[in-house]
Amino acid sequence: MTSSRIELGSEAHENHREAGEILAQVREEAADRVEVGASHLDVAEYAEDRIRELGGEPAFPVNISIDEEAAHATPSADDDSTFGEEMINLDIGVHVDGWLADTAITVDLSGTADLAEAPEEALEAAIDLVEPGVETGDLGGTIEEVIEGYGFNPVVNLSGHGLGHWDQHTEPSIPNRAVSQSTTLEVGDVVAIEPFATDGSGKVTEGTDEEIFALEREGSVRDRGAREALEQITEEFRTLPFAARWLDTARPNMALRRLKTQGLVHGYPVLKEDDGRLVSQKEHTVIVTEDGCEVTTR
Catalytic residues: 91, 102, 161, 169, 194, 283
Closest CA to 93 of 230, 266, 297: 297
Contact 140, 181 (CB under 8 A): no
Contact 172, 103 (CB under 8 A): no
> If you count DSSP H runs as helices and E runs as strands, how many of each does the chain have, helices first?
6, 15
Judging by beta carbons within 10 Å of its beta carbon (0-12, 13-18, 19+), is residue 281 exposed, middle or buried?
A: buried
Contact 90, 61 (CB under 8 A): no
**Which DSSP state fits 261?**
H
Phi, psi of 8 (to 5 degrees): -65, 140
Contact 174, 136 (CB under 8 A): yes
Beta strands in 30-137 (DSSP E): 57-66, 69-71, 87-96, 99-108
Work out the number of other CB atoms within 10 angstroms of the CB of residue 248. Answer: 10
Three-state secondary-structure class, residue 6:
coil
Pairwise CA distance, residues 210 & 79, whole Å: 13
